[in-house]
Amino acid sequence: MELLVVFFSSFVVGFSGAMMPGPLLAVGIAETPRHGWRTGPIISTGHAVAEIVVVVALSLGFAAIAESALVTAIIGVVGGTALVMMGGAMIYDIAKRRLDYTGSEATGKSGHRLAVKGITATLSNPYWFIWWATTGLAFIAKSSKFGVMGPVVFYFGHILSDFVWYSAVSILLWQGKSLLVGRRLNILISCCALFLVYLGITFIIGGLSI
């Protein structure tokens, strides 16, 4: 019964975090017109890979490293640069009319690329590390009293919220794809790209000011 409380608590907290605008949401919105409803589940899979690594690391006691000011600064600069490059590439593709939203890419190839983008968007966000070094660490500490199963249940409850939210966003966008064509679609993608660039710049500035 107590493990069910851990599961639903991590789901609710994770869901509230997933709904906040960030790099992963921007990538999901930008890629859905090209890759369809499966965009959400695939980028969530990449996100899950990054999260299982950090859960294991924190469970093994690496919280001090995550809380280091130097580590936070490096993550901010490197991650911010990655976001600026990702957003810049999207803007460049739109300007050169290189984007193809017909969904004709090979499923395996595009799926791998989407998963990598999910990982990149996750690791490039310094606030993701801060969340895990604080709120996430507190949850892991509390769930650890149930042994190995505690962090495991916490992880699956947390990651399920990401799959539910990002999948729902992709499905809704894909259902309304007929409303997003031509100029309107390019404007949406451009806004997502500019948002990534903006986040990247703020992350870099934040990292340099630490």
189-209: pLDDT as tens digits = 788 788 888 888 988 898 888
CB of 90 closer than 8 Å to CB of 20: no
Amino acid at 112: H
pTM score, whole prediction: 0.75
Question: What percent of the chain has pLDDT above 70?
Answer: 85
Centre a 10 Å sphere on the Cβ of residue 146 and count the other Cβ atoms it contains.
15
Assess whether pLDDT exceeds 50 at residue 13.
Answer: yes
Token pair 């090979």 is at which residue? 106
Per-residue pLDDT reduced to its tens digit, 77-121: 887 888 888 788 888 877 877 655 555 444 555 688 899 999 999
Assess whether pLDDT exceeds 70 at residue 180.
Answer: no
